[in-house]
Structure 1
Amino acid sequence: MDKSWMSMNRLSREYEDGVESFIQFALQSAKDSSKILCPCVKCGNIYTKDVFVVRAHLCSYGIDLTYQTWVFHGEKSIPSNQVNKKDNTLGGIPHEDKEDPIDMVRDAYETYQDNPNQFMKLLEDAEKPLYPGHKKFTKLSAIVKLYNLKAKYGWSDVSFNDLLDLLREMLPDGNELPTSLYYAKKSLGTLGMSYEKFHACPNDCILYRNMWENYDQCPTCGLSRWKKIGKGDKLNVGVPAKVLWYFPPIPRFLRMFRNKEIAKELTWHADKRRDDGYLRHPADSPAWKLVDKEWPGFASETRSLRLALSADGINPHGQMSSSYSCWPVLIVTYNLPPWLCMKRKFMMLTLLISGPKQPGNDIDVYLSPLIDDLKKLWDIGIEAYDAYRKESFLLKAVLLWTINDFPAYGNLSGCTVHGYLACPICGEKTYSTMLEHSRKIVYTGHRRFLPVHHPYRRQKKAFDGRQEFGTTPVPLTGHEVHEKVQNINCEWGKKDKNKLNYDVGEPHRKRKAKRKSTAPKESQKDERKTCWKKKSIFFDLPYWERLHVRHVLDVMHIEKNVCESVIGTLLNISGKTKDGKAARLDLFKMGVRTELAPKEVGDRTYLPAACYTLSKEEKRHVCKSLHGMKVPIGYSSNVTSLVNMKDLKLVGMKSHDCHTLMQHLLPVAIRGVLPKHVRYTITRLCFFFNAICEKVIDVSKLDAIQRDIVTTLCLLEKQFPPSFFDIMIHLVVHLVQEVELCGPVWYRWMYPFERYMKILKGYVRNRNRPEGCIAECYIAEEAVEFCADYLSHVHTIGIRSSSLQTSQTKPLSSPENQMISETEWEQAHRYVLNNDLEIDPYIE
């Protein structure tokens, strides 16, 4: 283009025509049709202005004469041999197809404008070559690519510092590589988002924000806001006793839409989702469609976000003996396609609650900043720019549900998860009883979920000695729950444990005995008339009480606990088995299966063999079967390492080990070692978990699956002792209903969140400041993820490339050719014809 007008008189006709031609050229590549960066002498391509303001600035102040290559307005950079060395341009560094650090810096600044000086420093690093004469890498792109490798492969800080020292020695003199990780993080931190720190009361009473922002002392418990020095009462003013780290989600949502590819995928649920009646995605579920029906204005904008929240405690020190617990709160976006929405790149850390104590029931105090932003995203919305459609729109968001393990479920929902009313679905209609000898509350009575005329309802001796005429409990709606918790007065903060209800002169031994005597008794059951302990802060969201499901049950932990109970009882593993002398005495007291009552033989107690009891030889058969199993690489951990052949038990099982055992391996291992009816019941339980964990759910089969699991639980009541039925066994009966309302399980279990918790634990380098380490590393990695979309050969962390996927697929062993007879070929052919669903329509 002709740029001679830039040096002409601003009052001349040629200059005015040149300004108009420049504006028209800039609008062709502008993301917003009404705003562009202003290149006048005063603004210097830092501030984005309206077109009429840019025109006025260029006529009033003049254009920056050093701006000869309009890289900020769509003009491509030119090779170094065509650039005047005096020009302050891109430095003559040719870029590959994906190398665009200038756009990367500009988009980062447009999303989060807070420091123009940092922007100019970043722009300088994006233009400066790695060393004099180098034409491939700039200083900024080199830092990004190196840190990308560090985050991808989990390098330690010390190893990364040593690598930087080595590379500086290998590169020519005058190179711009940072001297340490500290300076590399300073550069990357300006590309990422920031975080806020709110001071908190050590007893979790308040956050020092809003009306308490200037307080120095907690108005509830009286503790000081500041940290004590040593063991005395002297305060270190300025150093908070406890901190909440808040990562605002709104600017992060805005940046997602600034990326063209991500903005395109954020409407996958409306543009490319397969809608054939099957449950493949939360968008297929009634919970999603309820939002569409109740709030059509929200649903009319396909870019409105549907979110899920997960909170769990982690020990950042990685030591089981340490009681330190900090709580990350994560958010995932369901608008994305299935292969992206639960990946590490799109898991957003929003809150980090400092330890050493877990917040427990007081977690609502720390959730208040996030709830305020969620209310803003629902009531008002935020103006956002869609880089894919090149238009601005009003961004809104809705939180569909929370995903937590069962203790955290109670903390977030405000209901009890232990005691007589521990089931949050059955609520006050929970069927529970206290076992006198086992000293535990159990949850049986699953015959209530059977059809009214089912024969099991009239059987007495096979169950608990009584007939069952109860009906299936109906879960409370959100409106009903809100009415029940509306008037509950809950005081936040940990109570002073030193103020106990006992006399000062009472001996310590008696005080201890008095506290032990508060264990629940059968007579106390009627005193608890409600299972609600607080009004959850999520009810502050205007839509919360109208949702079908507000908090979902975590299938991962339920399956793990069920697996441990089954295997522990079958193999009689100490500490895991649900059978024993106390369990048999409870059976005898109930008048059920009295032949299994313990018998005294001399000085020993003999337990008669039950239908689920395995002999030593049968235990060896089961353990040997599991010990010899071979599975493909990546299918599970090494099953052999879980089997202890000496003690005939399974040890060290993780959640995924229980997942594979429960769904695939256990039915194979127990073949031929149990009575047929017991083996049949356990296999039915395994098939149930396999059915609900499928990635594609046939809605027409859910009713049959629900009937099968109710029958299976009733069969377990007939065969296993009552002590087997803890709350985790009971929750199995409610899983099908949540699948029907919320969609496939793998969008709602804790596996991806637990994996991400491990990544957060790996960020800790300074054990005195674990939360600070996590916050700083998260910000740096967030910047690397942002930069990966602009630079070549920088792969997104946590999302496999196609080359990695194919390279990690290996067979069990080397292939061998084997000839089969004609008879074997005919048998295999008939087997395929009889078992292939595609052939069924052609067979009469």
Structure 2
Amino acid sequence: MVHEAFNFPGFVANEDDSSNKDFEGDAEELPYLYSKPSHAARHFEELLEDGEQELYSGCTKFSKLAFLVRLYHIKCMCGVSDKTFEMILELLCDAFKHAKISASLHDAKRIIRKLGIAYKKIDACLNDCMLYQGSDQELSRCKRCGTSRWKQKTRRNSIVWINVVVKKNGKPQAAKVFRYFPLVPRLQRMFMSSKTSVDMLWHKKGPNSDGFLRHQRDGEAWKAFDRRYTHFSGDPRSVRLALASDGFSPFGNLSSRYSIWPVILIPYNLPPWSCMKPSSFLLSMINPGPKMPGNDIDIYLQPLIDELKQLWGGVDTYDASEKKTFKMHAALMWTINDFPGLGNLSGWNTYGGRACPTCNLDAESKRLTFSQKWCFMGNRRFLNQGHRFRQDRVRFDGKVEVRGPLVTLSGGDILRQLDNVHVKLGKVQTEAGKRARGQQAALQDESPCKKRSIFFELPYWEYNLLRHNLDVIHIEKNVCDNIIYTILNDSGKSKNNLKARKDLQLIGSRRELWPREDGKYPTVIFSMSNSQKDVFLRNLKIVVFSDGHSSNISCCVDLQQ
């Protein structure tokens, strides 16, 4: 890995020896690597030594570097604490005197850090107003809300209570830290390996000509991007990325004070069967604190946007398969998220009567009085003009649907809607001093747009045909739950309940399902009897799926209850 990453056939003898011809040739091919020749050459020299040094005399399976990386990988995967890992290293050193094992955690991290997989720690405002970077790096207070940058604790003086900055080793501790994994080095590393550099050209080989959608390259959004930006699509090494976002608890404990909001980039150049996992492109981790409100995520996406702008212009990268340096370009094609995540990233308000970003301002919504939910009745407009449901008044809202499908708004149309939208980033404070969850200042035109998405800073984002995708897994899971519990007529989770029947009566739809005066309502044809439930659940109890296609659903079935 080290040999391929640095493209050196052997050991670098002396970085100060200007007469070394091999060194001069490599410096010409890799100018970005030798911007600081002493630093890069010294790290490479040390990595080579550790990679070629046997763990102990006669050991052929592990080198000093390989053993340390494997050991540190176990620490990360199993959640071993630093103190425990240090004690393990001390025990190994005592037990195997002749083995080349790091004596301390500090030494181990010093070696691993040279592989270039570190992240950047950026201090953030406690109220998510700004990042302390660039020209703001030396500030001690937020320039928007005035909150202190540092963690504080209260001490009682003889007369008053005072706030004291928390320090560690004489340095003040930040109240909130944002961890960002730089994107450019990891994309460069994919071309520095001879194997993955060939895989990065896979999407251009054997294009699909039968009209079936098997890969994102077969979609209209991909093809339209190619037609518009020929300088980008002309080089098959140009990288196309998708941004996937979702929330998870890293410690398996929802009560933990730490919160991680991961942002993962998926490179579409690689084949689907590639061993490169999307998790290797984790971009950001934010902790501590609760999940951020929708507008605050733009603060933490700014480092990514800056890198994407840099990648659009091109970054010098070494191609191990071609044995030369080229300008690597990369573009963000779209995002993939659940419905609340779509609101956070796109700026559209996904709550209320205009929650659908496709319908936009033309959404036809109705508030269900008894169920206390929003109902969207205009879905028949997407059917074919001759479809019988368009003329069906009884089973819907008593109207005939004659409208055609909606015209998809372009990026320019969305930007025009956002002309008068002004949003103040950070947590909103109420007059009483408490945070109003998810609230933003009311817009004069009552537009459902909460903000101007930060992705519009990218020069090509306005012209992308497809900017945001919904994660189908979330939707299918919710729909499946609702269908199963409704068919089983579960008293607590079925959607076929008294409130739904009263809403049907209020709308004037499906008279045969209206509730009676005594509060009872007729059964529907899809409700299972007890004997049918027994057959259905027994089949679920014994069903066997292929590995990875389903959870162990048999454990979820209780035949007695």
Same fold (TM over 0.5): yes
* SS of residue paired to 1:441: strand
In structure 1, how many angstroms separate the alpha carbons of the residues matched to 2:265 and 2:165?
36
Q: Which of 249, 252, 257 does residue 186 from structure 2 map onto?
A: 252
Residue equivalent to 2:158: none
* SS of residue paired to 1:190: helix
Residue equivalent to 1:560: 477
Tell me if 1:198 matches 2:111. no
In structure 1, how many angstroms separate the alpha carbons of the residues matched to 2:15 and 2:404?
79
* SS of residue paired to 2:543: coil
Equivalent residues, number: 537
Residue equivalent to 2:466: 549
In structure 2, how many angstroms separate the alpha carbons of the residues matched to 1:486 and 1:383?
37
Check 1:45–1:423 CA distance in 2 against 1; reply closer, same or farther (3 A cut): farther
In structure 1, how many angstroms separate the alpha carbons of the residues matched to 2:343 and 2:89?
48
TM-score, normalised relative to structure 2: 0.86
In structure 2, how many angstroms separate the alpha carbons of the residues matched to 1:44 and 1:169?
44
After superposition, where does 1:258-269 map in structure 2 within 5 Å? 258-269=192-203
* SS of residue paired to 1:412: helix
Residue equivalent to 1:596: 513
Tell me if 1:530 matches 2:455. no
In structure 1, how many angstroms separate the alpha carbons of the residues matched to 2:373 and 2:57?
74
Preserved contact between residue 428 and residue 529 of structure 1 (Cα < 8 Å)? no
Check 1:37–1:382 CA distance in 2 against 1; reply closer, same or farther (3 A cut): farther
> What is the aligned-residue identity percentage?
38
Residue equivalent to 2:494: 577
* SS of residue paired to 1:374: helix
In structure 2, how many angstroms separate the alpha carbons of the residues matched to 1:595 and 1:392?
73
Preserved contact between residue 177 and residue 287 of structure 2 (Cα < 8 Å)? yes
In structure 2, how many angstroms separate the alpha carbons of the residues matched to 1:489 and 1:634?
46
Q: Which of 226, 234, 239 does residue 150 from structure 2 map onto?
A: 226
Residue equivalent to 2:552: 638
How far residue 53 of structure 1 moved from its aligned partner, in angstroms, is 9.2
Residue equivalent to 2:101: 177
Preserved contact between residue 568 and residue 576 of structure 1 (Cα < 8 Å)? yes
- Unpaired runs of 5+ residues, structure 2, are 1-5, 156-161
Q: Higher mean Cα deviation, 460-469 or 398-407? A: 460-469
Residue equivalent to 2:166: 236
In structure 2, how many angstroms separate the alpha carbons of the residues matched to 1:381 and 1:198?
25
How far residue 622 of structure 1 moved from its aligned partner, in angstroms, is 2.0
Deviations along 1:673-704, one digit per CA (max 9) or x if unpaired, are xxxxxxxxxxxxxxxxxxxxxxxxxxxxxxxx
After superposition, where does 1:702-717 map in structure 2 within 5 Å? none
- Unpaired runs of 5+ residues, structure 1, are 1-29, 55-105, 502-511, 519-523, 648-844
Q: Higher mean Cα deviation, 332-341 or 288-297? A: 332-341
After superposition, where does 1:335-414 map in structure 2 within 5 Å? 335-340=269-274, 343-344=276-277, 347-361=280-294, 362-378=296-312, 380-414=313-347
Deviations along 1:559-613, one digit per CA (max 9) or x if unpaired, are 1111111112112334422122211111112222333333354xxx322212333
How far residue 477 of structure 1 moved from its aligned partner, in angstroms, is 1.2
In structure 1, how many angstroms separate the alpha carbons of the residues matched to 2:393 and 2:319?
65
Preserved contact between residue 421 and residue 430 of structure 1 (Cα < 8 Å)? yes
Q: Which of 56, 60, 63 does residue 131 from structure 1 map onto?
A: 56
In structure 2, how many angstroms separate the alpha carbons of the residues matched to 1:614 and 1:624?
14
Q: Higher mean Cα deviation, 234-243 or 344-353? A: 344-353
* SS of residue paired to 2:223: helix
Residue equivalent to 1:75: none
Tell me if 1:462 matches 2:395. yes
* SS of residue paired to 2:243: strand
Q: Which of 42, 51, 56 does residue 16 from structure 2 map onto?
A: 42
Check 1:356–1:586 CA distance in 2 against 1; reply closer, same or farther (3 A cut): same
After superposition, where does 1:777-792 map in structure 2 within 5 Å? none
Q: Higher mean Cα deviation, 477-486 or 231-240? A: 231-240
* SS of residue paired to 2:251: coil
After superposition, where does 1:652-691 map in structure 2 within 5 Å? none
How far residue 336 of structure 1 moved from its aligned partner, in angstroms, is 0.9
In structure 1, how many angstroms separate the alpha carbons of the residues matched to 2:153 and 2:433?
28
Tell me if 1:610 matches 2:527. no
Residue equivalent to 1:476: 409
After superposition, where does 1:797-816 map in structure 2 within 5 Å? none
Residue equivalent to 1:731: none
* SS of residue paired to 2:263: strand
Residue equivalent to 2:542: 628
Check 1:138–1:322 CA distance in 2 against 1; reply closer, same or farther (3 A cut): closer
* SS of residue paired to 1:393: strand
Choose between structure 1 and 2 for higher RCO, CA contacts under 8 A separated by at least 6 residues. 1
In structure 1, how many angstroms separate the alpha carbons of the residues matched to 2:285 and 2:19?
37
In structure 1, how many angstroms separate the alpha carbons of the residues matched to 2:340 and 2:489?
27
Check 1:623–1:251 CA distance in 2 against 1; reply closer, same or farther (3 A cut): same
Deviations along 1:177-236, one digit per CA (max 9) or x if unpaired, are 234655433322221333222211111111112332222111211111111125752223
Instruction: Choose 1 or 2 for highest CA Rg.
Output: 1
In structure 2, how many angstroms separate the alpha carbons of the residues matched to 1:632 and 1:445?
39
Tell me if 1:491 matches 2:433. no
Check 1:128–1:528 CA distance in 2 against 1; reply closer, same or farther (3 A cut): same
Provide the alpha-carbon RMSD of the alignment. 3.5
Check 1:346–1:270 CA distance in 2 against 1; reply closer, same or farther (3 A cut): farther
After superposition, where does 1:146-165 map in structure 2 within 5 Å? 146-148=71-73, 154=78, 156=80
Preserved contact between residue 111 and residue 251 of structure 1 (Cα < 8 Å)? no
How far residue 40 of structure 1 moved from its aligned partner, in angstroms, is 5.0
Check 1:564–1:47 CA distance in 2 against 1; reply closer, same or farther (3 A cut): farther
Deviations along 1:632-656, one digit per CA (max 9) or x if unpaired, are 4544232211112233xxxxxxxxx
In structure 1, how many angstroms separate the alpha carbons of the residues matched to 2:488 and 2:236?
53
Preserved contact between residue 417 and residue 423 of structure 1 (Cα < 8 Å)? yes
**Greater fraction of residues in helix:** 1
Check 1:429–1:319 CA distance in 2 against 1; reply closer, same or farther (3 A cut): same
In structure 2, how many angstroms separate the alpha carbons of the residues matched to 1:447 and 1:125?
67
Q: Which of 119, 138, 143 does residue 68 from structure 2 map onto?
A: 143
Amino acid at match of 1:446: N
How far residue 623 of structure 1 moved from its aligned partner, in angstroms, is 1.7
TM-score, normalised relative to structure 1: 0.58
Amino acid at match of 1:641: C
